[in-house]
């Protein structure tokens, strides 16, 4: 089949009697790329009348037919009930660019480009990591590091006010402190310790597992000339900021924020005062865990960051002792606003249980110091029930650390591993049985919540990578790849949910920094994704189509913060997953 006939085929598809308009979105697949020996599948939208499997051809860039096959019998999406067919073209292994053509008596359609290459995720990993550089506060993003997205420095944060909720005798209300640096947390211009702590945990744990891989990943940032991996140099920019959020008594402020969100304006145009707000137990323990982990990871680079290891170690111990003395101070924003002014209405990151933070902090302090007191306290804080890690529940981060560092606690580490594998088993079974996208994620309505692309899909992929590392079972690696396929396009919406990648990616993220550029959104950011709860419906013009299913509840619309925002904790899971897969090559 030659190129001219390929174009004719696509044009003829528009004349089909099927109610759908033919487009590349009717074939849902990974829009970034596949490794030659990777499992490769695509999901085909079909008409209800298509009872028989579609005939499938794959064409090379020159128009030659290189693969033919047949799709699966029609399956029903377990959430929406829509008819779909699966095609498995794993036997196509030759690197190149292709299109998939699916035909039936009622339908004919072509896919977006299919790429097969030895390292399809290397550049994606780089850009997902560079997204953190674009989030830097207090410094200009200049060329050549900006790579097409320069901007002046925003929010120096050298004149930050102590909010009344955080006041002490040593630092009374409206005391001015400096808390410069770090990353903007999300689509807004604030910085939050609890979310930053989780992000740094996943960040540094990913580095520890794949040191050789990250050591060769060049990010083109101002610190690239230092004798330290670029990834660690970028992380240090945020770690240094987190250390400024520790009060002299050891407690950590919950967040650094303006009273209410700034509009979609350039960061240099922001005029609202900035505050550090209420010291909390979860924030303080997240700081303790982060600094203890960082002290261990950065120990080989003491010559680059002299004194850091000792400083971080002491700060982590100080924070942990403050938390033990103040074990239940939680961030309740409405209650705080009844007592203190000005009222704070930005992201709450409220969390009313610190057991998981105690577990993680004690774990990291033990791995750093080998003091058995921390080990015993950590094991005492381990929750009875396994739960996937999120910013608000970091227990799994501690359990994963014990699985990777089991010396002296082998039986406990095995219990943690058994719980992880039991957690993954039903999802892997769903990928093989009911999933129309051949994925261990996205087969239940409850899978689609605020930030599900990260906290649901990417994190499940990361869990699969840990399981693969611990057991050597290839099925876990395959399911990690399937999770990535979902995020990169093989999903109910047909979107590749990473800005700047794929044939159909978000163009209007809820991201103030992206809003300032005329050349499209900043690249490499993971979008939150479909959200069945639609908390933003009716706000600022956000309207979802009627009767839309949970897995389709997504809007590429700037005001849609519930489905179209970006955050640092989401991006960390994206690059940890892509790098974990790419590093095997």
| Cα–Cα distance, 12 to 16 (Å, whole number) | 7
Query: Residue 180: CB partners within 8 Å, gap ≥ 6?
Result: 137, 138, 156, 157, 158, 241, 244
| Cα–Cα distance, 205 to 190 (Å, whole number) | 25
Nearest to 293 by CA among 336, 239, 341, 335: 239
**Is 556 a known active-site residue?**
yes
Query: Residue 148: CB partners within 8 Å, gap ≥ 6?
Result: 519
Do residues 380 and 398 make contact, with C-beta atoms less than 8 angstroms apart? no
Backbone angles phi, psi at 358, to 5 degrees: -60, -40
Written as one string, the DSSP assignment of 380-405 is HH--SS----BTTB-HHHHHHHHHHS
Q: What is the CA radius of gyration of the chain?
A: 24
**Is 188 a known active-site residue?**
yes
**Is 371 a known active-site residue?**
no
CA distances (Å), 523 to each of 87, 143, 147, 424, in order? 30, 16, 10, 31
Nearest to 389 by CA among 301, 454, 318, 470: 454
| Cα–Cα distance, 540 to 377 (Å, whole number) | 48
Nearest to 230 by CA among 213, 246, 251: 213
Query: Residue 198: CB partners within 8 Å, gap ≥ 6?
Result: 286, 389, 390, 391, 394, 397, 569
Candidates 286, 356, 565, 582; catalytic one: 565
Candidates 163, 318, 510, 511; catalytic one: 510
Q: Which residue has the tokens 């050591």?
A: 215
**Is 565 a known active-site residue?**
yes
| Cα–Cα distance, 114 to 108 (Å, whole number) | 18
Backbone angles phi, psi at 105, to 5 degrees: -60, -20
| Cα–Cα distance, 462 to 526 (Å, whole number) | 15
Candidates 26, 188, 258, 430; catalytic one: 188
Catalytic residues: 188, 510, 556, 565
């Amino acid at each position: 089949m030659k190129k001219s006939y390929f174009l004719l085929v696509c044009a003829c598809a528009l004349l089909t009697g099927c109610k759908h308009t033919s487009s590349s979105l009717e074939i849902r697949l990974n829009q970034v790329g596949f490794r030659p020996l990777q499992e490769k599948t695509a999901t085909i939208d079909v008409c209800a009348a298509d009872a028989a499997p579609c005939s499938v051809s794959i064409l090379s860039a020159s128009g030659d037919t290189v693969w033919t096959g047949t799709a699966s019998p029609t399956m029903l999406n377990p959430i929406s009930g829509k008819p779909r067919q699966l095609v498995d073209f794993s036997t196509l292994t030759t690197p190149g660019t292709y299109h998939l053509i699916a035909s039936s008596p009622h339908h004919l359609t072509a896919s977006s480009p299919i790429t097969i290459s030895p390292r399809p995720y290397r550049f994606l990993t780089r850009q997902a990591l560079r997204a953190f550089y674009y989030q830097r506060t207090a410094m200009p993003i200049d060329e050549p590091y900006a790579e097409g997205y320069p901007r002046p420095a925003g929010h120096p944060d050298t004149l930050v006010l102590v909010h009344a909720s955080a006041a002490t005798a040593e630092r009374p209300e409206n005391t001015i402190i400096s808390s410069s640096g770090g990353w903007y947390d999300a689509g807004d211009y604030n910085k939050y310790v609890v979310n930053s702590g989780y992000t740094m945990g996943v960040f540094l744990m990913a580095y520890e597992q794949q040191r050789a891989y990250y050591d060769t990943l060049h990010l083109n940032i101002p610190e690239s000339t230092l004798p330290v991996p670029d990834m660690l140099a970028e992380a240090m920019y945020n770690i240094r900021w987190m250390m400024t959020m520790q009060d002299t008594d050891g407690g950590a402020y919950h967040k650094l924020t303006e009273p209410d969100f700034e509009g979609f304006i350039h960061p240099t145009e922001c005029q609202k005062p900035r505050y550090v707000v209420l010291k909390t137990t979860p924030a303080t323990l997240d700081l303790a865990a982060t600094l203890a982990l960082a002290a261990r990871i950065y120990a080989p680079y003491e010559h680059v960051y002299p004194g850091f290891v000792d400083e971080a170690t002491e700060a982590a111990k100080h924070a942990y002792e403050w938390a033990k003395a103040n074990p239940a101070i939680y961030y309740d924003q409405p209650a705080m606003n009844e007592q203190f002014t000005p009222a704070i209405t930005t992201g709450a990151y409220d969390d009313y249980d610190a057991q998981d933070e105690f577990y993680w902090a004690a774990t990291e302090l033990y791995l750093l110091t080998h003091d058995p007191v921390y080990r015993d306290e950590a094991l005492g804080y381990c929750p009875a029930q396994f739960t996937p890690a999120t910013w608000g529940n970091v227990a799994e981060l501690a359990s994963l650390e014990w699985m990777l560092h089991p010396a002296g606690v082998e039986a406990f580490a095995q219990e943690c591993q058994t719980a992880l594998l039991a957690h993954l088993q039903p999802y892997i079974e769903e990928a093989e049985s009911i999933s129309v996208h051949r994925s261990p994620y996205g087969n239940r309505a409850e899978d689609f919540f605020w930030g599900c692309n990260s906290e649901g899909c990417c994190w499940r992929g990361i869990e699969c990578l840990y399981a693969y590392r611990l057991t050597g079972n290839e099925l876990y690696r395959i399911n990690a790849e399937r999770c990535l396929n979902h995020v990169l396009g093989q999903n109910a919406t047909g979107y590749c949910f990473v800005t700047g990648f794929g044939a159909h990616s978000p163009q209007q993220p809820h991201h103030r920094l992206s809003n300032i550029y005329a050349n499209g959104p900043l690249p490499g950011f993971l979008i939150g994704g479909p959200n069945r709860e639609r908390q933003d419906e009716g706000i600022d013009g956000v309207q979802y189509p009627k009767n839309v299913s949970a897995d389709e509840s997504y809007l590429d619309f700037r005001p849609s913060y519930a489905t179209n925002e970006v955050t640092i904790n989401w991006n960390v899971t994206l690059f940890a997953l892509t790098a974990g897969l790419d590093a095997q090559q």
